[in-house]
Structure 1
Amino acid sequence: MRRDLHDGLGPSLASLVLRLGAIQSRTEPVERDALIVETREEVRAAIAEVRRLVDDLRPPAIDEVGLLEAIRQRAVALSGAVAFEVTGPPAPPLPAAVEVAAFRIASEAMTNAARHSGASRCLVGVELTGTFELTVSDNGRGATPDAHPGVGWASMRERAAELGGSCTITSRPGGGLIVRAVLPLGQDEPVEIDA
């Protein structure tokens, strides 16, 4: 986020200050009005960037419909050649960091299944014991021996590790991949699930 603010939003706002100075110095109304129109568009772009940064912090769908339904919505958005099935119990309130990490890991794993696996089916399962457990498995090609894990795989692992959890990515017998993330809930007692 620091990079996004420094490299994106910072220069945009600095440019707006310069443009406002240019507007103030113009005496010709047509010239001034043209600069105002351009400035208005730059402000709109800066607002869109702020919204993107805020959404990256915590996807709004989690608050609007809950974690499991937010994962389902993402699966629907990715559906096409791959049929997604999302299962799990309704989740009680979870730590915000767990919800965001779980959503991001699920999104990345589903995106990989849709774009790279050649899969026709992808199962996403959520379980709550004393931890939050997410499993995303597809029936695609799986990892080839010469495959070089990309940024997405590293990102999923890092998100889990930041919370003291783990994320493993393994080949599935018969083809496909299994992404399994285990995220601690920061409590000693198992989470109670309403049936």
Structure 2
Amino acid sequence: MRLRRNLHDGLGPGLAGIMMRADILGQLMTANQGAAEEMLLELRREAAAFMTEFRRVLADQSPAELDGKDLDDALRTLGRRMSRATGGTLTITTDVDPAAAAVDRTTQVAAFWIAKEALTNVVKHAKASTCTIRVRVDAGLCLSIVDDGVGGAGLGHQGVGLTSMGSRAAELGGWCEVSDVGPDNGPGVSVTAHLPAAPCPAPRRPAR
């Protein structure tokens, strides 16, 4: 179950990005040769990143975006990559509490995976123009991903992605909810999660 979840969460976004770029490439082949060549280079880079992520998932390693980075940097990197996958039609903004860098790594990894799956759903289903990721620290890590898309897409059944977000939160004693934003607040989907967190352990001082 864990390998299935990691394969889905880790590789799904890469495949989604490759497929979207392939669709855009087909449109550019006759309309804009220069842009088509640039998109082809993007496809090659995305395919190489996909293979790297595939090896990391099989080795049960944490996401590459978190290597040597905190959650804020990792989410910004992810947002830029997912935005490029749409050809720039989706603007993704991040707003991360600096205190998030002080929570334990396990919680940061879980929050990243939830955000990654939520963004994948936005790219694949929402037809959104904007998406905002917010992270706050309040008796744990509070995460929200809200888009302005069509709403409701993918919410009618609990597939691997929605189940994965819930299980990652539940493993830490938290919760994750996915719902339509609602007519009063405009269209879109909101993903909200709360993850109990512990402070990062203080670095051990060498014995004298």
TM-score range, shorter chain: 0.5 to 0.7
State the secondary structure of the residue aligned to 1:92.
helix
Deviations 1:137-188 (A, max 9, x none): 000111169822321111000100010000000110221100001000147x
1:153 aligns with 2:158: no
Aligned to 1:107: 116
Aligned to 2:94: 86
CA distance in 1, matches of 2:154, 2:116: 24
Alignment of 1:10-89 (within 5 A): 50-54=55-59, 56-79=60-83, 80-89=88-97
Q: Cα distance 1:106–1:2, how it changes in 2: closer, same or farther (>3 A)?
A: closer
Alignment of 1:145-184 (within 5 A): 147-173=156-182, 174-184=186-196
User: Superposition RMSD on alpha carbons, in Å?
Assistant: 2.5
1:143 aligns with 2:152: yes
Which structure 1 residue ranges, 4+ long, deviate > 4 Å from structure 2? 1-4, 47-50
Amino acid at match of 2:82: L
State the secondary structure of the residue aligned to 2:94.
strand
Q: Cα distance 1:65–1:130, how it changes in 2: closer, same or farther (>3 A)?
A: same
TM-score normalised by length of structure 2: 0.62
Report percent identity of matched pairs: 37
CA distance in 2, matches of 1:112, 1:104: 13
Amino acid at match of 1:169: V
TM-score normalised by length of structure 1: 0.66
Deviates more, 1:170-179 or 1:61-70: 61-70
Number of matched pairs? 144
Which structure has the bigger radius of gyration?
1
Q: Which runs of 5+ in 2 are unaligned?
A: 5-51, 200-208
